Amino acid sequence: MDERHGTRCSGRAHERPMHLLRSAVVAARVLAAVAALAVAWPLLPDVAGRRVRPVDLQKLPASVVLQTNVPCSGVIEQTAGRITIAAATVHRLITLAYGVSCGAATSLELISGGPDWMRKEGFSIQATLPQGTPLYTFQQLQNGEAPKIQAMLRNLLADRFQLVLHRTPKDAPIFNVYFVKEGKVQLAADQTKPGQAPNPMASPLQVGMDRVAGIVRVRGDAVPIRTLIMAGQVQEGRFVVDKTGLTGLYDVQPSVIDVGPAVFQAGFSAWPQMMSYLGFKLESTHGPVDSIVIDRLERPTEN
């Protein structure tokens, strides 16, 4: 549908009630406390059949802060039949709903317009999902590969925040990624079963960094090439375009990559060095990318 008229989820008739709280950025150790308060407080039904709960600032733990300058804040978890998003900015929700890297959107200013609070205030959402909703990983949601959750978020933003937006191209720095050398990245033997991390919200690509020694350790079992590429889009703050032509699932051989401490001391990402070691070539250029312009956005009301 036309985004100027507010995108709607096609399965709206099957959606179940959604709870929306206005809150703030919370540390992981206080999320349980906020959830406990949410259960105890009375709900105010709204005309859309969803429920909105105001936050009593006097009852929040002292460690909870109501303002944040971190546009990409938020903790996201999906379990069977339920999704919980804690203290996420509207900026973050828009990037998830429309499949845009939050890091790139922030550093390249790919979301423009809208009030200042959309990047500074956090909202917590608990939703019961329709039966049969796939159990997506966080990596899939972040990569724009969770269509049913994304449709739900677009519907939420349009209904509860009155979001109206349009897209326009914008010139931005880009990395084109090519695959030039086999060896460290090989086609997985089993193409039917993607790799799974012990924590479903984590990435199956395992990357560890020793910033003092200047070492990066990486391995992955049956991961899509897009997982490697999207890691760069998050870390580099620029659009990364897949020019590899590789499809299917790939094993990333366990590797220890010496990038040197200076990379980390200077505040740079080690992703380009890691990709080069694994057999990829990065081409730095500029080109048009989709940007989002906010035409209308309002705080959710209590009724």
Higher-confidence residue: 33 or 244? 244
- Distance of alpha carbon 209 from its chain centroid, rounded? 21
Q: Please give the Cα distance from 174 to 237 (Å, whole number).
A: 9
Q: Please give the Cα distance from 148 to 9 (Å, whole number).
A: 8
> pLDDT tens digits for 216-255?
999 988 888 888 887 777 667 678 889 999 988 899 999 9
> pLDDT tens digits for 156-168?
899 989 999 999 9
| The predicted structure's pLDDT at residue 100 | 87
Angle (nearest 5°) at CA 291 between 289 and 297? 170
Structure tokens at 89: 């900015």
Query: Is residue 114 within 8 Å of 122, Cβ to Cβ?
Result: no
Contacts of residue 72, Cβ cutoff 8 Å, sequence gap at least 6 = 89, 91, 92, 95, 102, 103, 106
> pLDDT tens digits for 190-210?
887 777 665 555 667 888 889
- Longest CA span, the chain: 60
Span 83-110, average pLDDT: 89
Structure tokens at 1: 């549908």
pLDDT grade for 57, boundaries at 50, 70 and 90: very low
> pLDDT tens digits for 119-149?
988 888 888 888 888 888 777 887 788 999 9
